[in-house]
């Protein structure tokens, strides 16, 4: 069942790339013990490959997980927890404890990553993102006065998970602050699907949701999972890979800045926003692919890298032992790649 969230979130998440999986195997599911699931989620599709016995209840568990996820984090559904929280209408009795716990978790993870990226990643800037979307629809620049006013009430630091409203809801330190976890939510949904597979004892799997990936063990050929990064170039074919990476027990997320832009008076306005300045950012960094154990973390850091650019992203990845990355940038009209760690 496609929810309002699923229909509307399409295209709004940061990751713009499709990844492809080189399984390198033959034979039927029965022969090899290879099981595949696919469906719709978060306005895109999911694909799961796992080895071992078939679990006939897995699809129902995925649907249930998706429903709870949307009820907690869908900014497109007016009755979701985050929508009511943004409008200062949230009442704890209206929501399951799991939804409130998920909101807490997203805030906590975001605070940590926002601090590590010097604010380049900040889900507390939902009002800024909305301002940008409205300007894009109209084909105009964002109004500088409106941007300045929105920035006064933006920032994940304006929410406290130490203080609580009745029922354990996080406290807004600024009643006007609004949250949007689109730049980390898809990655976290990948993690949730991986946890489902872990819970049924799967030792070898690949989970992909709209290009975000988490792997465990080996592929059906007994080798690391091979994931292709698309060439970040308008008009590139779906199977035009700039690089292919091997993953084992790792997640991977990619963000880019060469699509979804718009133009005003012939000037290109990129879709990546710097939540610190409120301004769209375009650098020579065309795509950032981040690897980490958790897909949510990889997702968020990939978004931050597109704000920071090549040099600062390189330093960020090098300074964090849990991260590795692959950056594709343009130099003198030529695309180049750099593998970090």
Asked whether the beta carbons of 24 and 220 are under 8 A apart, the reply is yes
Domain count, the chain: 1
Q: Are 47 and 225 in contact (CB under 8 A)?
A: no
Range of the domain at 113: 4-340
> What are the backbone angles phi and psi of residue 258, rounded to the nearest 5°?
-115, 0
* Long-range pairs, 147-153, Cβ under 8 A, ≥24: 147/278, 147/279, 148/278, 150/278, 151/278, 153/127, 153/177
At 293-327, the pLDDT tens digits run 999 999 999 999 999 999 999 999 999 999 999 99
CA atoms within 13 A on the CB side of 213: 28
The pTM is what? 0.90
CA–CA separation, 68 and 98 (whole Å):
8
Residue 308 CA: distances (Å) to CA of 181, 228, 288, 316, 324: 19, 24, 10, 9, 16
Residue with tokens 């013990």: 33
Going by their DSSP bridges, the two strands 212-216 and 251-256 should be labelled as antiparallel
Residue 82 pLDDT: 97
pLDDT by residue (tens digit) across 262-296? Answer: 999 999 898 899 999 999 998 999 999 999 999 99
Q: Give the least confident one: 12-21, 130-139, 158-167, 198-207.
A: 12-21
Q: For residue range 5-61, list pLDDT tens digits in order.
A: 333 333 333 333 344 444 333 333 433 489 999 999 999 999 999 999 999 999 999
Looking at every residue in the chain, the average pLDDT score rounds to 89
Rounded Cα distance, 105 and 112, in Å: 11
Specify whether the CB–CB gap between 128 and 150 falls below 8 A.
yes
Please report, for the domain that includes residue 243, its CATH number: 3.10.520.10
pLDDT in tens, 61-80: 999 999 999 999 999 899 99
pLDDT at 239 over 80: yes
pLDDT of residue 11: 34
């Amino acid at each position: 069942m496609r929810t309002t969230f699923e229909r509307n979130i399409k295209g709004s998440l940061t990751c713009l790339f499709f990844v492809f999986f080189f399984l390198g195997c033959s034979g039927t599911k029965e022969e090899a013990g290879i099981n595949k699931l696919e469906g719709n989620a978060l306005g895109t599709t999911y694909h799961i490959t796992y080895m071992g016995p078939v679990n006939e209840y897995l699809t129902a568990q995925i649907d249930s997980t998706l429903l709870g996820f949307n009820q907690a984090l869908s900014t497109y559904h007016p009755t979701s927890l985050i929508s009511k929280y943004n409008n200062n209408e949230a009442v704890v009795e209206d929501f399951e404890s799991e939804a409130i716990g998920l909101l807490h978790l997203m805030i906590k993870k975001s605070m940590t990553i926002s601090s590590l990226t010097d604010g380049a990643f900040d889900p507390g800037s939902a009002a800024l993102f909305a301002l940008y979307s409205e300007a894009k629809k109209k084909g105009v620049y964002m109004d500088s006065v409106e941007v300045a006013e929105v920035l006064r009430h933006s920032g994940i630091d304006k929410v406290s998970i130490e203080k609580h409203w009745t029922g354990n809801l996080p406290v807004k330190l600024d009643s006007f602050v609004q949250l949007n976890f689109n730049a980390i939510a898809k990655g976290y949904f990948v993690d949730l699907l991986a946890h489902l597979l872990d819970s049924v004892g799967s030792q070898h799997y690949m989970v992909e949701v709209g290009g975000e990936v988490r792997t465990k063990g080996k592929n059906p050929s007994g080798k690391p999972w091979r994931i292709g990064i698309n060439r970040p170039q308008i008009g590139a074919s779906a199977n035009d890979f700039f690089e292919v990476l091997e993953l084992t027990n790792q997640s991977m997320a990619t963000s880019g800045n060469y699509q979804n832009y718009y133009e005003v008076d012939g000037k290109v306005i990129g879709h990546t926003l710097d939540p610190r300045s409120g301004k769209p950012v375009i650098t020579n960094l065309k795509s950032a692919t981040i690897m980490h154990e958790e897909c949510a973390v990889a997702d968020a850091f990939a978004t931050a890298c597109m704000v920071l650019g090549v040099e600062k992203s390189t330093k960020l990845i090098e300074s964090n032992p849990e991260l590795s990355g692959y950056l594709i940038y343009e130099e003198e009209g030529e695309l180049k790649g750099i593998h970090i760690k």
